[in-house]
């Protein structure tokens, strides 16, 4: 198996698989991506939000001071390469839902670690279109990634290099030994799984505690609504460059299918109605559902299998893929050929107990 035209085979073509393939190719690796051609992957359904400070207590995402600059640097590089805009920087209007929310802002705004991300208070009547009786604040260094446009560009890049193969891969199609691995008669030195939530069925990595979550998002038009910032009141309302909006998202851990649920759709519409102060006419253009590859400890799963070093995984980014994948794809690609492999908190060896 060691006499191969490929260095790395990647299973999966979402944001994780596509950016890892890009990084490996830049490192000089010979890469072949296996894609099932799905147009409804979680990466394509996601809004691509980048939000450094999240939750009711306004907690800064771990390592965001590292992740965010790397993400913007990579997205700008890809924009120059492809001649298209992918990452859109956009302030976020955070609505106080409770008095505790405001107290959290008051506390964080005194913390120098949060100074770059938290902006000024917003008064309840400052935005006539938004129902915000307790006011809110402006959050800085937020934005969104146009994942569909980026994935389409990376797909074309891989096609031009004959570095992508559109086919379903069954685990029985994969063989490996001490010298290399093979997927559907394509030999390589290593195989990296970037399957998203489907990794819960991977026989070599089923010991990793995934916690997949179904999410649903609406794409819509809103008559007489002109706010250009993202509005976040627990659910978020994201203005797109074409004049439409995305609104979401729901979370569900029990029913893990990719079928949009009409009940959830109505729930989202009801929440949006409560957020909008006026009775704006809504035009529902699209209703999407996807499964986030979240993990129990909210940290990614990255690394080579401790017992089968020809097999690796790059997964588990949940709802923060747009923020984290650029950094980790760079680190993983740089270390893949090294014996000093270490992904710190993302390393899968934290869960290995001799399975």
CATH (domain of 182): 3.50.50.60
For residues 153 and 85, give the distance between their C-alpha atoms in angstroms, rounded to a whole number.
Answer: 11
Q: Are residues 241 and 139 in the same domain?
A: yes
Please give the tally of structural domains in the chain.
2
Q: Are residues 133 and 230 in the same domain?
A: yes
Q: Are residues 26 and 97 in the same domain?
A: no
Residue with tokens 């992740």: 67
Is residue 54 included in any domain, yes or no?
no
User: For the residues 237-245, what does the mean pLDDT come to?
Assistant: 94
pLDDT in tens, 278-337: 999 999 999 999 999 999 999 999 999 999 999 999 999 999 999 999 999 999 999 987
Is residue 168 included in any domain, yes or no?
yes
With a cut of 80, say whether residue 40 has pLDDT above it: no
With a cut of 50, say whether residue 218 has pLDDT above it: yes
Are the C-beta atoms of 272 and 197 separated by less than 8 Å? no
Of 269, 292, 315, the one marking the end of a domain is 292
Is residue 184 included in any domain, yes or no?
yes
With a cut of 90, say whether residue 4 has pLDDT above it: no
Three-class secondary structure of residue 312 per DSSP: strand
Share of the chain above pLDDT 70, in %: 97
Alpha-carbon separation of residue 131 from 91, 123, 124, 125, 220 (angstroms): 18, 11, 8, 9, 19
What is the model's pTM?
0.95
Is residue 1 included in any domain, yes or no?
no
Residue with tokens 């146009």: 146
Of 292, 308, 323, the one marking the end of a domain is 292
Q: Are residues 342 and 320 in the same domain?
A: yes
Is residue 62 included in any domain, yes or no?
no
For residues 100 and 92, give the distance between their C-alpha atoms in angstroms, rounded to a whole number.
Answer: 19
């Amino acid at each position: 198996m060691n006499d191969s035209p490929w260095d790395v085979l990647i299973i999966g073509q979402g944001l994780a698989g596509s950016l890892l393939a890009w990084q490996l190719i830049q490192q000089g690796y010979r890469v072949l991506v296996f894609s099932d051609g799905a147009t409804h992957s979680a990466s394509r359904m996601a809004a691509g939000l980048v939000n450094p400070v999240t939750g009711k207590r306004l907690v800064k995402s771990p390592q965001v001071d590292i992740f965010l600059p790397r993400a913007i640097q990579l997205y700008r590089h890809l924009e120059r390469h492809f001649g298209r805009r992918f990452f859109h920087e956009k302030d976020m209007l955070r609505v106080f839902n409770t008095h505790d929310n405001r107290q959290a802002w008051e506390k964080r705004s005194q913390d120098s670690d949060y100074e770059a991300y938290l902006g000024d208070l917003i008064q309840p009547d400052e935005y006539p279109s938004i129902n915000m009786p307790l006011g809110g604040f402006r959050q800085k260094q937020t934005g969104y990634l146009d994942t569909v446009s980026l994935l389409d560009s990376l797909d074309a890049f891989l096609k031009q290099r004959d570095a992508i193969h559109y086919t379903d891969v069954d685990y029985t199609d994969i063989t490996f030994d001490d010298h290399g691995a093979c997927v559907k008669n394509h030999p390589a030195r290593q195989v990296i799984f970037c399957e998203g939530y489907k990794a819960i069925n991977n026989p070599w990595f089923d010991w990793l505690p995934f916690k997949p979550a179904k999410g649903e998002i609406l794409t819509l038009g809103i008559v007489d609504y002109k706010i250009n910032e993202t509005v976040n009141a627990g659910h978020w309302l994201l203005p797109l460059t074409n004049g439409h909006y995305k609104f979401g998202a729901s979370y569900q851990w029990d029913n893990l299918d990719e079928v949009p649920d009409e009940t959830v759709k109505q729930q989202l519409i009801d929440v949006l109605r409560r957020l909008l102060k006026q009775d704006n006419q809504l035009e529902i253009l699209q209703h999407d559902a996807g499964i986030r590859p979240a993990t129990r400890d909210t940290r990614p799963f990255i690394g080579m299998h401790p017992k089968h070093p020809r097999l690796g995984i790059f997964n588990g980014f949940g709802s923060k893929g747009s923020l984290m994948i650029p950094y980790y794809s760079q680190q993983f690609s740089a270390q893949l050929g090294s014996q000093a492999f270490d992904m710190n908190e993302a390393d899968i060896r934290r869960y290995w107990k001799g399975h």
